[in-house]
Structure 1
Amino acid sequence: MDDPDSPPYLKCYHSLAPECCRVFELEPGNFSDPIVGRLVPQAIAGQPYEAVSYVWGDPRKRRDVTINGTTLSITANLYAALTAFRHEPQSGNSGSLNTSTGSAQRPVRRLWADALCINQADLAERTTQVELMGHIFASARRVLAWLGWEEGKEGRRQAQAAIRFIRFFMKDPEAGLRDARILLIHQDVTLTGPPDRLAFLSERDRRRFKEQARKWEAVKLFFKTEYFHRTWIVQELGLAREAIMYTALKPADRAGVGKGLGGEDGAAGSKPQALELDCINWSLVGRFARFLDFSAASLVTHLGLLSWVAHHVWMVWEMKEDGTPDCDFLTGMHWARILGVTDARDRVYALLGHPLARIDGYLVIKPDYTATRGVIYTRLAANFIRKTKNLCVVNLVDHEDDPCVEVREWDPHNDSIMPSWVPDWHSINRTTPLNYPIIAAKVADAEIRIIGDTEGAKGTSLPHLLVRGWVVDEISAVSPCMETTDFPVTNLTREQAKKNPFWLDRVWEMIFVADGLAGRDALAILETLSLALPLGTWEKGQPVNKVAGSQQTLTEHRRSFAAYVLEYHDLWRGVSEIGWVDAEIQSYLPARSLYNSLPAAAQTELRQRAEGATSEGFLESMTWSSMCRIVYRTASGLIGMGSRVTRPGDFVCRVQGSPVLMTMRFIKDSGASQGAKVKTESRDKSASISCLYIGPTVVPARLKRNVVIGRDFNERAARFRIV
């Protein structure tokens, strides 16, 4: 459903009955034969068919096919998929499928492909069929996922190497990960030593390093395939009874015969060429990506793997032991934000087949291609808030840029306009949901209100969200946005190349300022920081956060974090004790390390904790949760982690109906001196505040089990009008 400019196919289509679709009966043929077939209407649950999952690709690159005697134009990518799938492949060796059987012996193949089986020029039909897409893919005998042609012989070698390696790795993932850790030995250029750290390895280890590098490079290229970065595959793979991924080298590329994609014949009189498909089951690929995210985050970030994108797809459909979905619809929407789509509204519609896309038996939203994305997203958020009386959808907001104060009215010509409390699922997202193990407030509140128009009529005001809660504190200092490449402790050369060199020491300089905060317990503040970064820890009897963080007990966490602090200290000391530091190094080298800033007793405690421990556990649990977020300090010295657009002057708030704390930005509607007004408000009287929603946040010092009322922390009561 990614091609809004498709040509009209009126001659091939007739009206469909409810709960029906069309199936494309594809005639057999050799590689270079034209694509010929017919469209047959049927009940979705009728005769067996297979569904094709693919990338639309460049709409300007098109091929002609013959359907019901009419010539139609489709994208080159779909043409390639039909060329590969025009007959039933038979299993061959090493995961390849050989399709050399003569075309006369092959049966017609019954396929469903959106660009062929839906009349793209009929908006009413397109809307109805989009609503049925989940049913169509769930009812298919299996899903055939077309990854595209392999790019020449080298492309095929890499694709086959990746498929073989994933299969082998998943036989014993822990052993595979141990072998891969040799790649974390970095190229090390020191001020006094040799430039190549590999020179210090034994001949056997050098061979291992190079072998692992080759294998993981193939895996890296595999996950760069465009197919993995398309929104519609989330539903297409997730609902499949069985999904198999296929790729192939065009016979012309392999044998040097023929001129290209189907319809262009090879040399005159040449023998029809066999097409060998390389394949792998999606379930194996998904479990591979999941394992890497949970157990090898540092390896993923070090190698620049995009396997985590596939893991996002996998997470949307994971099930609990009782067979119910582990991921709710809104979180699934959040994970899919990183994927590409032509029509921003399809970010919602592409997941309507999810089991939790219905509330009280009704879809959370109906497909509508006449409204802007801002209106569609606002309707969706408002529907969830009204039905559930909670703010879970609000806590999935991840602003890429500062929300705009000036825009207050709907504009049908600007599809990006929406309230600050509505997630823009079409903007770039690289954050994990902020799921702290201790809730900040009651998770539902009957007094939550939405005031205003959600239909998007021109000139009408954007709807406001009315909630109640408490103001925790004002933010006074903010760190730079954190990137995954900032986190591993390696060597001076790699530290210098980071966006935020010596990031932990720099963050500590901002948190533990020398003036004005004397007498604070440095170790307690450090522990607050360490609990904010991985979103807490896991303890017996608590639900484990299956997305990021919370993968260690508190004892394990303390030990691995202490080791992490000491690793950074050792790197800093190794540079600073050389005796001279040039101007470039001086520009990013902290005056002192975090460790050196601590009192002697705290240093002793950290060394005791770190004895026999490594930083690996802390790094693996905090990498994804901290990515693209900032650390901040409040006016009273509280430490938190929040949205990348947070800035000094914003306020941390506790809100009824939100399980996590919120960051707000007060606006002029609430008075010229809102900050002072809130601070002087009496404890028993609620302030009325207009604000923008900045994003979810966590302040471990203000999260206490079984405490969900702000007055227990002497916080100021307030009513918020979020615009």
Structure 2
Amino acid sequence: MVGIGQPSNQGSDSGPANPKSLSLHKNVRELPLSSERPCFRLLEIEAAGRREDALRGGAATYDLKDPCDIDYDALSYCWMAPDATEQITLNGEEFPISKNLSAALRQFRALQQEQQQAAASSPPKLWVDAMCINQNDNAEKSHQVTLMRDIYASARRVFSWLGEADEHSALAFDTLRRFAASADGGTLDTAATARQLSGEAVERRAAIQRFVRRPYFFRMWIVQEVVAAKEATLFWGPHSIDFDDACVAMERITGSDFYPFSQETANLSYVWRWRDAYHGRNTSGGDEELDLRLFLDTRDKSATDPRDKIYSLRGIAKERIRASIHVDYDDSIRNVYTNFSKHILKIRPDLQILSAVMVRHADSSIYELPSYVPDWTQPKYGGGILQRYYRFKPTHLFRASGKTKPHVVVADDGSDGISVEGLRLDTISCVIDIKSLLVRGPVSSTTVTESVLHELAENTIPTGTYSFTAEPAWMANFRTLTADRTALSPRIGDGYRSANFSRFSDVDLQKPNHIPTGLPDSLWEEVSKAVEVIVEDKDLFVTEKGYVGLGHETCAAGDVVCIFFGGEVPFLVRPDGGADGHGFRFLGECYVHGIMDGEAMDGRGALEKFLLM
């Protein structure tokens, strides 16, 4: 894990406290790395009698393409606080390292000695980013990052260090091992294991919570390091478990309701899925897993250097993306992000990267990015229109632009603007603060019921019927403010509905564009929770022609609703004074009820080229 790529909010990984000594150390002075060949440095840690003995070792350079077999392990870890430094003596000279790295090296040394005694083998070499790369030389760092995938993929094993053990470590790993070993007849129904552990459920759940919240799992760089590995082992102090076994266990733990599924548990699920795709074990959706989806799904992971939100995934991304990412730590963050967006828009048959733009980021972003470029340092939110596609039937995915392909022109003169072809659907006439209308009751919670929806319809569709779909107004409002993706949506796949929305199994959703009336309060309460997430950063809007839509909270009267060719969803733009008055500021995706399946393309009007600035 390259030191430039660690986050500041989960334990800083900005590097050792005395960076000057890194560039002057013997490793750099006497072991230079060629930029013409895939050369890298490896360490050998000397044996010691006791764990607390000083760390000592040596280093040498090697060529990744050498025909001889280089037996080495690679360390994957967090740099943590840079001011808590210790020392290792390398080639006779002291080298400052973080406390967390020191603990990892001591555990590696102890494990290495056990293995040597058992097999009488030579000590394995070790690759550690902080000690094998000159972090103060951008040229060396840039070249080494292009080799990172191969370094981890060629290692005998990736040693994934979670940190020193605490009172939860042993119990957490014991719980993981028990669930990993229990297949209950070959199925993922591990209710029997959950019952066996029910007597210690409180303690074991606390241990699992501590495990999934380890800072290690929130880092950008660990994704490539673990995904590319032939074999990865998680170490929490002296306790260890195979990474894939831990992922199997977490799937069974959450599947049996022993521990709830959450974004924290999903951190492991995602990496496991990417490992399967990278190693060809995923026969369903593997191509998309390592394409743009990889960058979208890691958005909430942390990196100290914002460029690593792109660079750290380069090695495992599909070739058509990897080839376009030129690693250069002297390049500006603005250029890295802008060039990445332009390339994605050139090569993909859709405009999904535009759905990653969130206008609320504009107030906190410091990089002055073009309006159509996502700020990858900013978090994603749960209410994106294109999120949760996996819920939909394949025949019911959004396709607002019908069967059209993107028409995007990216200037080759280095300017920021791009031209996107499409249709101007309508203009927003009014915006409704939907959250204030839905928050009710003594605890001010989001409340959605049929009666509330009837009230809301009086403000948006006073005729009582939504003319574009012939639906009752309240029903059209509901499908709009939920982006048509709750348990009551006709788009949801039957398998997903039965597995995740079992409480709605008796609801008749067979009629197109129809939601049954008279649903019990308990179901509306569940729907209300989903709506609260969806509208968290959204407002409802009505257009001049009477369309009802859902857009990001900064949309305003006068904003233009567009359907860009190749877009699954419509988009909002705002006229901008630049480009001789013909430019637009891109605002983001939106949902407009009645056009999400390409209806507006049937009698489409004149084509227009939108210059996004």
Q: TM-score range by the shorter chain?
A: 0.7 to 0.9
Correspondence for 2:246:
285
Q: CA deviation at 1:479?
A: 4.6
Task: Please state if 1:223 is matched with 2:183.
Answer: no
- 2: CA distance, partners of 1:442 / 1:649: 26
Helix, strand or coil at the partner of 1:695: strand
Deviation readout 1:310-358 (Å, 9 max, x if unpaired): 3343444453417943414322112112111111111111001114153
Q: CA deviation at 1:538?
A: 9.7
Correspondence for 1:15:
32
Question: Do the aligned residues in 1 keep the contact of 2:160 with 2:235 (CA within 8 Å)?
Answer: yes
- 2: CA distance, partners of 1:310 / 1:507: 39
2:3 is matched by which residue type in structure 1?
A: D
Task: Please state if 1:352 is matched with 2:287.
Answer: no
Q: 2:230 aligns with which of 233, 241, 265?
A: 241
Pair 1:32–1:76, CA change in 2 (3 A): same
Task: Please state if 1:477 is matched with 2:420.
Answer: no
Question: Do the aligned residues in 1 keep the contact of 2:42 with 2:127 (CA within 8 Å)?
Answer: yes
Question: Do the aligned residues in 1 keep the contact of 2:46 with 2:109 (CA within 8 Å)?
Answer: yes
Pair 1:446–1:341, CA change in 2 (3 A): closer
1:466 is matched by which residue type in structure 2?
A: S
Pair 1:146–1:556, CA change in 2 (3 A): closer
Q: 2:446 aligns with which of 501, 507, 518?
A: 501
Q: CA deviation at 1:215?
A: 3.0
Q: CA deviation at 1:176?
A: 4.0
Correspondence for 2:80:
57
Correspondence for 1:44:
64
Q: CA deviation at 1:15?
A: 2.5
Q: CA deviation at 1:471?
A: 2.5
Deviation readout 1:260-310 (Å, 9 max, x if unpaired): xxxxxxxxxxxxxxxxx2122222333455678899799446xxx621333
- 2: CA distance, partners of 1:316 / 1:627: 30
Task: Please state if 1:720 is matched with 2:613.
Answer: no
Deviation readout 1:447-497 (Å, 9 max, x if unpaired): 42124764xxxxxxx611211212233443345579xxx99xxxx9xx865
Q: CA deviation at 1:76?
A: 1.5
Correspondence for 1:397:
357
1:348 is matched by which residue type in structure 2?
A: I
Correspondence for 1:630:
538
- 2: CA distance, partners of 1:700 / 1:497: 31
- 2: CA distance, partners of 1:380 / 1:297: 41
- 1: CA distance, partners of 2:234 / 2:132: 21
Q: CA deviation at 1:384?
A: 2.3
Task: Please state if 1:83 is matched with 2:37.
Answer: no
Task: Please state if 1:307 is matched with 2:326.
Answer: no
Q: 2:145 aligns with which of 130, 134, 138?
A: 130
Correspondence for 1:517:
462
Over aligned residues, Cα RMSD in angstroms? Answer: 4.5
Pair 1:212–1:73, CA change in 2 (3 A): same
Which residues of 2 match residues 81-160 of structure 1 at below 5 A? 81-88=104-111, 107-151=122-166, 154-156=167-169, 159-160=172-173
Q: CA deviation at 1:656?
A: 1.1
Correspondence for 1:467:
420
Correspondence for 1:260:
none
Question: Do the aligned residues in 1 keep the contact of 2:212 with 2:265 (CA within 8 Å)?
Answer: yes
1:143 is matched by which residue type in structure 2?
A: V
Helix, strand or coil at the partner of 1:383: helix
Correspondence for 2:517:
606
Pair 1:479–1:606, CA change in 2 (3 A): same
Pair 1:315–1:374, CA change in 2 (3 A): farther
Question: Do the aligned residues in 2 keep the contact of 1:170 with 1:288 (CA within 8 Å)?
Answer: no
2:125 is matched by which residue type in structure 1?
A: R
Q: 2:180 aligns with which of 167, 182, 204?
A: 167
Q: CA deviation at 1:440?
A: 1.9
Helix, strand or coil at the partner of 1:513: helix
Question: Do the aligned residues in 1 keep the contact of 2:550 with 2:590 (CA within 8 Å)?
Answer: yes
Q: TM-score normalised to the size of structure 2?
A: 0.77
Q: 1:419 aligns with which of 370, 374, 387?
A: 370
Pair 1:279–1:104, CA change in 2 (3 A): closer
Q: CA deviation at 1:23?
A: 1.5
Correspondence for 1:666:
575
Q: 1:25 aligns with which of 41, 44, 47?
A: 44
Q: CA deviation at 1:229?
A: 0.8
| Unaligned ranges ≥5, structure 1 | 91-98, 181-206, 249-276, 405-413, 455-461, 543-548, 566-601, 672-687
Task: Please state if 1:696 is matched with 2:607.
Answer: no
Pair 1:338–1:355, CA change in 2 (3 A): closer
1:224 is matched by which residue type in structure 2?
A: R
Q: 2:479 aligns with which of 528, 541, 546?
A: 528
Pair 1:478–1:31, CA change in 2 (3 A): farther
- 1: CA distance, partners of 2:435 / 2:90: 53
Question: Do the aligned residues in 1 keep the contact of 2:456 with 2:477 (CA within 8 Å)?
Answer: no
1:282 is matched by which residue type in structure 2?
A: F
Q: CA deviation at 1:633?
A: 3.7
**Structure 1 stretch displaced more, 317-326 or 120-129:** 317-326
Question: Do the aligned residues in 2 keep the contact of 1:389 with 1:448 (CA within 8 Å)?
Answer: no
- 1: CA distance, partners of 2:412 / 2:192: 53
2:223 is matched by which residue type in structure 1?
A: V
Pair 1:139–1:504, CA change in 2 (3 A): farther
Task: Please state if 1:654 is matched with 2:547.
Answer: no
Helix, strand or coil at the partner of 1:128: helix
1:440 is matched by which residue type in structure 2?
A: A
**Structure 1 stretch displaced more, 637-646 or 46-55:** 637-646
Helix, strand or coil at the partner of 2:135: coil
Which residues of 2 match residues 189-228 of structure 1 at below 5 A? 211-228=200-217
- 1: CA distance, partners of 2:526 / 2:178: 26
1:655 is matched by which residue type in structure 2?
A: F
- 1: CA distance, partners of 2:523 / 2:427: 36
- 1: CA distance, partners of 2:62 / 2:499: 58
2:211 is matched by which residue type in structure 1?
A: F
2:334 is matched by which residue type in structure 1?
A: G
Helix, strand or coil at the partner of 1:512: helix
Question: Do the aligned residues in 1 keep the contact of 2:431 with 2:542 (CA within 8 Å)?
Answer: yes
- 1: CA distance, partners of 2:527 / 2:230: 37
- Larger C-alpha radius of gyration, 1 or 2? 1
- 1: CA distance, partners of 2:172 / 2:480: 43
Question: Do the aligned residues in 1 keep the contact of 2:541 with 2:551 (CA within 8 Å)?
Answer: no
- 2: CA distance, partners of 1:555 / 1:317: 28
Which residues of 2 match residues 315-464 of structure 1 at below 5 A? 315-319=273-277, 320-321=282-283, 324-359=286-321, 363-388=323-348, 390-402=350-362, 416-431=367-382, 433-434=386-387, 435=389, 437-441=397-401, 445=405, 447-451=407-411, 454=414, 463-464=416-417
Deviation readout 1:409-440 (Å, 9 max, x if unpaired): xxxxx961211101111112234644471322
Q: TM-score normalised to the size of structure 1?
A: 0.66
- 1: CA distance, partners of 2:341 / 2:258: 31
Question: Do the aligned residues in 2 keep the contact of 1:653 with 1:662 (CA within 8 Å)?
Answer: yes
- 1: CA distance, partners of 2:164 / 2:431: 51
- 1: CA distance, partners of 2:317 / 2:425: 37
How many aligned positions are there? 561
- 2: CA distance, partners of 1:336 / 1:58: 23
Question: Do the aligned residues in 1 keep the contact of 2:169 with 2:207 (CA within 8 Å)?
Answer: no
- 2: CA distance, partners of 1:228 / 1:346: 16
Q: CA deviation at 1:12?
A: 1.4
